[in-house]
Amino acid sequence: MTGLLFFAILVFLYPLLIYPPIISLLAAFFPKPIRKTGLHHAQTVTFIIPAFNEEAVVEAKIRNTLSLDYPKDKIEVLIASDGSTDRTVEIARTLPDPRIMILDFPNRRGKLSVLKDALSRASGEIVIFSDTSAILAKDALTRLLENFSDETVGCVSGRYIVSNDMTKIQDGRSAGEKGYFEFEVFQRRKESLFYTTLGAHGAFYAIRRSLSPDIPANIINDDFVIPMLIVKSGFRTVYEEKALVYEYHQTSIDGEFKRRTRISHGNFQQIAFLKSMLGLSHPRVSFVFWSHKVLRAFQPLPLIVILIVPIAMEGLLPKLFVLMQGLFYLLGAAAISRKSRSRLLAIPLYFTLGNAAILAGFFRFLKNRKSNLLQWEKS
């Protein structure tokens, strides 16, 4: 029982406390630096911006994209509406600019179907995927594209930042979300230097159009699967922390649970879809994949063991350990049920909500694993 308990604790702690210093050391002693030689010539780029009922933000997004610090004649913008029923398309058409193309798909089919159709219309050497609600820093595009001067790079992710200005309501969960993304930034930087990071931030990432992979229309986390298939083809996905993209933080507990359940569903789906990359044929990629994604996806399993096993153990300490865990989860559940914004309950709320969403996502994956089409749900 003691051995099982300590093994479960080790499995739980590994991706959170053990893997980060390991990947940091590997990046320091076995680095594969990106050879940035600057932009010898401005590459043509196509922005693909998928939209479903984005009337509140579509104008600001288009204006932000066209104002980036990059040669104006090298940018093409495709606004791809997935059956929007509001004024998204109407508003986009009020902005007269020859660089803008509106793709008004009348029937809602799902985000990936829209991306694939838009990709077939793209003419740029580099294709940029960006969310409608994401606002890019002035130099973000230039910073991102510098990485493509290295011929081994096939995909580049920008750095996602939860914006204080765009998030009107700040609470403990906002702080937790920001802390999580800073933790992610650290790991992605080190993974990128070691060889390749996993996936990209869907709010802003780029690929070489010539490497565009063909993926099934039911894939949820396109911003993970597309970069990983590019890695599978022999190229790197790297992280550019100076290419900044800002977005609001979801403030509704119900909305956040829905978002994280969908992400969790996508995590299990992508593990099954990319299982061939977990073997020894891609050792560096496999190590990062197991450490950063797979063990995190199954995080509730060691937590269940850690909670249940001490009940069967003798002595006062195991019982106190169970009691402390129970109190922690009760605080988290109470904060969720009361929709608490208390910063004192931020950690138990964020932890409990996240792991509950992982379990919900797993059962959703089992239920829908044979589905050929999943509707696009907003984050």
* pLDDT reported for residue 156: 97
In a domain, 87, yes or no: yes
User: For residue 251, which of 347, 372, 168, 136 has the smallest C-alpha distance?
Assistant: 168
* pLDDT reported for residue 337: 82
Find the Cα–Cα–Cα–Cα dihedral 123, 379, 59, 39, rounded to 10°.
-40
In a domain, 362, yes or no: no
In a domain, 126, yes or no: yes
* pLDDT reported for residue 319: 92
In a domain, 332, yes or no: no
Contact status, residue 243 vs residue 140, Cβ threshold 8 Å: yes
CB atoms within 10 A of CB 161: 20
Q: How far is CA 312 from the centre of its chain?
A: 39
User: For residue 49, which of 76, 86, 70 has the smallest C-alpha distance?
Assistant: 76
In a domain, 72, yes or no: yes
Write out the residue range of the structural domain in which residue 53 sits. 45-254
Amino acid at 135: I
The segments of the chain whose pLDDT lies below 50 read 372-373
In a domain, 306, yes or no: no
Beta strands 236-247; 135-136: pairing state: antiparallel
**Strand, helix or coil at 146?**
helix
| Distance separating the N- and C-terminal Cα atoms of the chain | 41
What is this structure's pTM?
Answer: 0.89
* pLDDT reported for residue 371: 56
Longest CA pairwise span in the chain (Å)? 75
Count the domains in the chain: 1
Question: Which residues fall within 8 angstroms of residue 105, CB to CB, at 6 or more apart?
Answer: 80, 81, 82, 83, 114, 117
In a domain, 260, yes or no: no
User: For residue 304, which of 8, 7, 2 has the smallest C-alpha distance?
Assistant: 8
Beta strands 45-51; 75-82: pairing state: parallel
* pLDDT reported for residue 172: 52
- Residue 88 sits in a domain whose CATH number is 3.90.550.10
* pLDDT reported for residue 256: 83
* pLDDT reported for residue 369: 74
User: How many angstroms separate the CA atoms of 118 and 51, rounded?
Assistant: 12
User: How many angstroms separate the CA atoms of 16 and 184, rounded?
Assistant: 10
In a domain, 296, yes or no: no
pLDDT in tens, 313-330: 888 999 999 999 999 999
Provide the token pair at 198. Answer: 């996993």
**Strand, helix or coil at 68?**
coil
* pLDDT reported for residue 165: 61
- Residue 272: enclosing H or E segment and its boundaries? helix 253-273
